[in-house]
Amino acid sequence: PMPGYRVNLATNLGHVTDGGLTDASGRTFAYVTSDTPGEAELIATLDGAAYHDALPATTTITFYDPLSGLIPDLAAESAAPYATDAIEITPLPIVQGISTTISVNLTNPNDFPIVVTGTFGIAQLGIGLTFGPLGGIQSVEIPAQSTRTIGIIWTPTVSGKYCVDFNYSWAPTSQAGLASLLSTSGGHIRRNLSVFPGTLEPQHGKEILEKARIATKRLSLFTPSPHLAIPKAGVNWGLGWHFDTAAEISRQMGGDPPRQDYRVIAMPEWYTIAPATPGPGLSQARADAVNALTEAILDLIAYGNAALISLDRYGGAAAAGSLTWSAQQASAVIYYRGKVGQAMLDAADAVDDFAQVLENEEGSPLIITVAEVQAYQDRLRTQGWTAEEIQTAYEFGLTDAQIEALRQDILAQDPAQLAGDLLQKLREAAQALREAGATLVAEQNYATPSTPRTRGVSATPNNLVQVYRTQVPIQVGNPATVTDTISLKTRPLGLPKDWSVSVSPASVTLGPGEAITATVTIVPGSPTAQGTTPRVAVEGFNSSDELIGGVVVDVVAPAQGNFDGKLYIFLPVVRR
């Protein structure tokens, strides 16, 4: 980003107001107006001979005729027929079961008072869909040249990405305004909620985590083996549950369910497990190995849960448009993912040490037979968990649903897949954990300063962040009463030059009311400016090339925050 430089804008349609200076993120604003409908090709260039080689930025905007009904005549500053800030939603993000207020600000541009009557509707994030009703008919009188607000309270039953619609009509309150009434006296305004946090993990990282998840999951099912039996009730089974929890954490590392409590920083919480103690049938070496492995897995669970909560809150901050808290939560995610990576490395070493103790005491190989696995599954199928096992599960904080889910998971496994050399399987799992841990520890989203710090010279700040591919599912429907072909086109709105956008499928033929799921893929290039929100519009056109709707997808590129795993209280300094 280049702050403090003047940007010029050229267009082949309309009139330009430009010349603003770029801010700290290298961004500025220009305005284009037009009295003629059509598409305007825009080219932005830097002002100054020193930067004549800089690549120009290009984009396309479309001006619509207000009388066509595509632009709502009572919504101020509509970005597009399908995107306006006139609709306000609080609190954000929308969360299942929590009451949400949806309101719309309507401005009467006339010299006479009017009455506006309308209804709210809701649909999934998409194009050409049928909106379901929200609440009843709303009505408000708006004085001349004034603004009024209409709103409802809605409690969603399903979480997700939505599009909100307000469909309305208006009429003068007196005969004086009839002469000025246009042929159209109504319209609709829409807002879609599609802000996504910039993905902090590359695709290869997700694949390695999935490999670790599978390996860890298998470990949770090996623990009933007689070779792992420990004369302390439930310890081997409890260790299996910890592996199962660690596997679930690995699986969820790529999710982004938003949370509304994004102004709170998560802290890790550890389970308290009584250590294994040596005794008859349990050597000191095996007890030490079990305790070391338990400690490593408990670290993985504690830091992993904190990372997942932070990830969810990062999604909530992004959906709410809070760049400040998205930066704080993103920093917490990165910090805790590093801790998870180190815990995986420690767990890998502990698994290897545990396997070595087993080999020293019982020899190699240690074969788990198909018959042993089947006998264990038969016992769970016919008798279930023992009372002692259930009590141990309660001590570990499991619910009845989680206990039953683990039983069903074990019953669903193929005995042939679980049978084999236990030592080999343990070492394969350790290797998978080691690869995943090394990946998490090495990940870096924020660049280091571009020059080293030397005596008397400060390092040059770097305000770039690397985010990765974002995939957004949207619904695409045919609102017509006949079969039609819907074409989907992407329109970058402030995306960095080396980012790419695609939508699949790009064209689809649908029957009346039929809908499919399309996927919008945004692939970032090099690092982009921190604290920005690159966006892209996806628009749907019917076979007559008429706009039927669109969605705007925003991707938050978080700024770098300062988080070291501790919470601080800052007190004001008062000078008397």
Radius of gyration of the chain (CA): 30
Highest mean pLDDT among 155-159, 235-239, 283-287, 442-446: 283-287
Q: What is the pLDDT of residue 250?
A: 55
pLDDT (tens digit, 9 = 90+) per residue, 199-240? Answer: 776 666 666 666 666 666 666 555 544 444 443 333 444 455
243-252, 379-388, 473-482: which has the minimum mean pLDDT? 243-252
User: What whole-number distance in Å separates Cα of residue 142 and Cα of residue 172?
Assistant: 10
Beta pairing partners, 446 = 465
Structure tokens at 267: 């802290």
- Starting at the edge strand found earlier in the chain, the sheet holding 57-63 runs 7-11, 38-46, 57-63
In eight-state DSSP terms, residue 524 is -
Mean pLDDT in residue range 466-490: 90
Ramachandran region, residue 398 (left: φ > 0; alpha: ψ -120 to 50; beta: rest): beta
User: What whole-number distance in Å separates Cα of residue 2 and Cα of residue 24?
Assistant: 7
| DSSP secondary structure string for all residues of 381-430 | HHT-S-HHHHHHHHHTT--HHHHHHHHHHHHTS-HHHH-EEHHHHHHHHH
Whether the Cβ atoms of residue 45 and residue 30 lie closer than 8 Å to each other: no
Closest CA to 550 of 78, 126, 68: 126
Mean pLDDT in residue range 128-143: 86
Model confidence at 447: pLDDT above 80: no
Tally of CA atoms within 13 A in the half-sphere of 503 that contains its CB: 28
User: What whole-number distance in Å separates Cα of residue 376 and Cα of residue 148?
Assistant: 69
Model confidence at 497: pLDDT above 70: yes
Model confidence at 423: pLDDT above 50: yes
Measure Cα distances from 376 to 21, 298, 369, 370 in Å. Answer: 71, 26, 11, 10
pTM comes to: 0.73
User: What whole-number distance in Å separates Cα of residue 307 and Cα of residue 395?
Assistant: 24
